[in-house]
Structure 1
């Protein structure tokens, strides 16, 4: 792979020149690691950082939007072209805090569309974009989630917890408590049966997100976090029990908080016998 410094130089040289967009596209596709199981996250991160400033030109803006809106038909799953919208969505998240209000509204729409994309990498890009926004200011990402939470579908809920399960966002207790409260509401919606005609695949995606993200929140604020897990361990809903067990099995909890983990697992064993 070309050196990262060289990559940055090429970004700077090519992004603002429409005549060079083809070269940049070809470079990113070549270095994408696609097809393959793991996309080039380091390269996409460096690409995104290139746009984390307030001096985005109209050409830059046009460029990012043209890539962010590439559909699955144009950039399918595991095709090197998929790396282009993946990078663009991450970059728009990095730019968000510097953007004008009208641009922010457009970025919000792009991120929300990516949350619901059939391509799992695009859903990951939406969560990473929210993480970038949160790193610039937790209040910014909280504002977005608060705006979207009511009526959010399972894919959108998954994006929320995946984005927030990011240690740099959890350095302040108030931030983690917000995450725990949000996770509690999402878990309660799972157990309430409030969503009729649940899409099995969409629920699977949410469940996979909850199965690790809760442990990140709990590790940051164990007292409140274990109280949450204990509450949901008492559920008779096998889906919720699976989520709780998965989080208890994460090493970030099982190694440092073995006693608390064992107590909840014991209660689950007793419950299963009755």
Structure 2
């Protein structure tokens, strides 16, 4: 039995008792510490009842809020199409949080949606990447730029489009607006997401990334430099070996 399976079994044995579940999660959260217990978050998201997911998604406790936020991704998949707006709106709100852990939980929730319903993820990303809040745009990019999701050609195209749109949104900002923390957070995500998106579809991605190199915008240039440091992109940019004669 894997660690996640052990957590799932333990959570199910608690009979959805909120106090007992809360105590189980808190004791095993890994916080305070450098790394939260992601396997436990995933287990909770997979088995927790809807009421507990919604309750924890609004919890003042950061770890419980992460658990509930990832669980929202499962609720979106489980809900009828006409009843999803409230859930995706909750995710959008969490994407704007000051807590970086909760923002990562939003990306995990989006990826959970993408695993089950790639078209639903693509629609959310296309909507969020045009949001006025840079943190929502960041969630769109971070959510879709996950290698396992980019095996789908349509999702790989969405990832490239999202990276391009988010980069253009920074390029369009005046210099004083770029000092905003949320804009810097978006820029940081683009500093690695382009490499993931390009690796997902090199034929389409390499020309689009190459076009960024001609930009004289300092933030776009930073994004290019950061991605060029990533091994996945370096392999694609390396010239082919020339056979010796």
Aligned equivalent of 2:44, options 41, 44, 47:
47
Aligned equivalent of 1:213, options 193, 196, 201:
193
Give distance in 2, aligned partners of 1:217 and 1:149. 15
Give distance in 1, aligned partners of 2:46 and 2:204. 35
Tell me what 2:10 maps to. Answer: 10
Equivalent residue of 1:118, what SS?
Answer: coil
Give distance in 2, aligned partners of 1:176 and 1:5. 30
Task: Confirm or deny that 1:68 pairs with 2:57.
Answer: yes
Q: Residues 15 and 216 (structure 1 numbering): CA distance in 2 closer, same or farther, change over 3 Å?
A: farther
* Structure 2: gaps of 5 or more residues: 241-245
CA contact (8 A) 2:125 2:141 kept: no
Tell me what 1:190 maps to. Answer: 170
Tell me what 2:30 maps to. Answer: 33
Tell me what 1:265 maps to. Answer: none
Equivalent residue of 1:259, what SS?
Answer: coil
Tell me what 2:108 maps to. Answer: 128
Equivalent residue of 2:29, what SS?
Answer: coil
Give distance in 2, aligned partners of 1:259 and 1:157. 33
Q: How large is the Cα RMSD of the aligned pairs?
A: 2.1
Equivalent residue of 2:132, what SS?
Answer: coil
Give distance in 1, aligned partners of 2:5 and 2:132. 40
Give distance in 1, aligned partners of 2:36 and 2:162. 30
Tell me what 1:203 maps to. Answer: 183
The answer to which of 28-37 and 247-256 deviates more is 247-256
Aligned equivalent of 1:223, options 190, 203, 218:
203
Equivalent residue of 2:84, what SS?
Answer: helix
Task: Confirm or deny that 1:150 pairs with 2:130.
Answer: yes
User: What is the Cα deviation at residue 15 of structure 1?
Assistant: 4.9
TM-score computed with the length of structure 1 as normaliser? 0.80
* Structure 1: gaps of 5 or more residues: 52-59, 76-81, 261-274
Q: Residues 165 and 118 (structure 1 numbering): CA distance in 2 closer, same or farther, change over 3 Å?
A: same
CA contact (8 A) 1:15 1:63 kept: no
Q: Residues 202 and 221 (structure 1 numbering): CA distance in 2 closer, same or farther, change over 3 Å?
A: same
Equivalences for 1:39-188 in 2 at 5 Å?
Answer: 39-51=36-48, 60-70=49-59, 74-75=60-61, 82-101=62-81, 103-188=83-168
Equivalent residue of 1:255, what SS?
Answer: helix
User: What is the Cα deviation at residue 103 of structure 1?
Assistant: 4.5
Give distance in 1, aligned partners of 2:180 and 2:191. 16
Equivalent residue of 1:32, what SS?
Answer: coil
Give distance in 2, aligned partners of 1:208 and 1:106. 29
User: What is the Cα deviation at residue 174 of structure 1?
Assistant: 2.3
